[in-house]
Amino acid sequence: MKRNSQIRIVVWSAVFSLMTMVAVAQNVGDAVRYSQFDYGGTARNVGVGNTMGSIGADLSAVVSNPAGLGMFRRSEYTVTPSLLSNNTSSRLLSGKGNTATADTRSAFNIHNFGVVFVTRPRSAKWTNLNFGITINHLANYNRAFNFQGRSRGSLSQRFQELANGGEGIEGFETSLADEASSIYDFDPANDGIYEVDYDLNPKANLLRGQTLFSRGSLSEVGFSIAGNYDDKLSIGFSMNLPTTTYSSEKIYTEKDDSLAAGGAVPYFTDLKYQENLLTRGMGINAKLGIIFKPNQNLRLSAAVHTPTVFAFNDDYTFTLDNNYFSDRREQGDFLGKQAVREGTFSYTQTTPWRIMGGAALIIGKQGFISTEIEHVNYSSNKFGYKDYQVAEVKVNGEISNQLQSVTNVRIGGELVFSELRIRAGYGVLPSLFQNDDSRSTVVSAGIGYRKDDYFLDLAYRRTTTTETYYPYLTTNAPLQEVENKYTIGNVIFTLGVKF
């Protein structure tokens, strides 16, 4: 049967303009992006593996435990620039013989900027009461990767599943696919049942690939107060305003480049699906922490972070280009159609509670060894869509079903040689996803030089992780699986001045 090449005219009512407001449905990846942190900050904190929560007296450690602010004896300010390099190796696991491709992305940012003011109350028991203002870097989104290879399946099958699964052509993706003729219903006998060209040869291997470029970061402005009671107990509290900007461009392509007569898939030649997204957000949270010193050699710490309530706004543009012949077997007319959707959408996200504990052993004047654990239930992430409860329940259910609770463990230490400091740290971060036993590892090292009125610190952190990426999801059709291996290197430098 020849593919019907008639032009389909769809009249969109005012209802469509409302539907586009919820077009960009958030997903599990979005929930993770704004709730998973790398705790950057000063080079000292990075050098010891982000384990300064029990030691305190560090203007980035207050991100994990605001009680650390109470350990300062003198007022101080710091500034910490950093350079990040993200190397990615990507390979399409679906299909056979697909090779890996590599990408590198670099970025410069300010990891930490802060000031603490030390005051001494009149009470003999309260040795000091300190106030701090900090800006700390929590996450970096500068990343690039691309893959290319051959495998069975087609993006059009995802559109088909959505259309035949109840959405029809009223859904965001299905309306794009219908307008671009990636899905079609030209047979009156099958009214409401959508077909795709790929069904005509479901064993065909298509040349496919995707490029992704993203940039942005998550930083937090904190206003903290902490007091030190009798040099045994430090209690701290902070109010924090995290802000984020994230932008991405994803371009997915499929092509039937078979040399067989009429191609491997009748009618179909190629498609391109481009997604452009810009997200801006601001949130608020609070943190409470304590540091207890039972003696001069041991410090114990605990902290709790309330959920962050974010308000986000997305600006998006989605474009689908679909090219085909009216009849490739008979070299019919070459046709191409493009569909574009753009708009904006506002929503909220509530991140999980965080519970942290730590301990540090002070080795006289020779240094310290410290450790920190952090428990987070990522499945408790929640999105909020005003007036779109059905979509809200769906995405929150997916988060609950796919994410899990994790306990991150970090250990680090510092050796003192007069004015010189040598540091090292190590962290193990389990996967956030259910039924996934993979882990990320973080290795760091640093060096510092300290005088009475100033200090200089340098650190390097290396993170390695492997993730499975799916350019699109299907239930009954072949699922495209991509392996991304990330190696992230970060060089951090801190200048601090005491006053």
- Give the E-state strand segments of 230-333 in sequence order: 233-255, 268-295, 298-305, 309-325
Q: What pTM was computed for the model?
A: 0.86
Count structural domains, the chain: 1
pLDDT at 261: 63
Q: How far apart are CA 252 and CA 154, in angstroms?
A: 11
Q: How far apart are CA 83 and CA 68, in angstroms?
A: 26
CB 228 within 8 A of CB 127: yes
276 part of a folded domain:
yes
300 part of a folded domain:
yes
2 part of a folded domain:
no
Confidence check: pLDDT of 180 > 50: yes
Q: What angle do CA 137, 142, 144 make, to 5 degrees?
A: 160
Mean predicted confidence (pLDDT) in 93-108? 94
Confidence check: pLDDT of 125 > 60: yes
5 part of a folded domain:
no
CB 66 within 8 A of CB 289: yes
pLDDT at 17: 31
Cβ atoms < 10 Å from Cβ of 327: 16
List pLDDT tens digits, range 312-341. 999 999 999 999 987 766 667 778 899 999
List pLDDT tens digits, range 261-270. 668 999 999 9
9 part of a folded domain:
no
Confidence check: pLDDT of 34 > 70: yes
List pLDDT tens digits, range 271-306. 999 999 999 999 999 999 999 999 999 999 999 999
1 part of a folded domain:
no
List pLDDT tens digits, range 128-163. 999 999 999 999 999 999 999 999 999 999 999 999
List pLDDT tens digits, range 441-493. 999 999 999 999 999 999 999 999 888 899 998 999 999 999 999 999 999 99
Q: Report which DSSP code applies to 132.
A: E
Higher local confidence (pLDDT), 387 or 89: 89
Mean predicted confidence (pLDDT) in 254-260? 87
pLDDT at 447: 98
What CATH number has the domain bearing residue 97?
Answer: 2.40.160.60
CB 373 within 8 A of CB 356: yes
- Expressed as residue numbers, the domain containing 73 is 14-498
pLDDT category at 221 given cuts 50, 70, 90 is very high
Q: Report which DSSP code applies to 38.
A: -
8 part of a folded domain:
no
Q: How far apart are CA 57 and CA 223, in angstroms?
A: 15
Arithmetic mean of pLDDT over the chain = 91
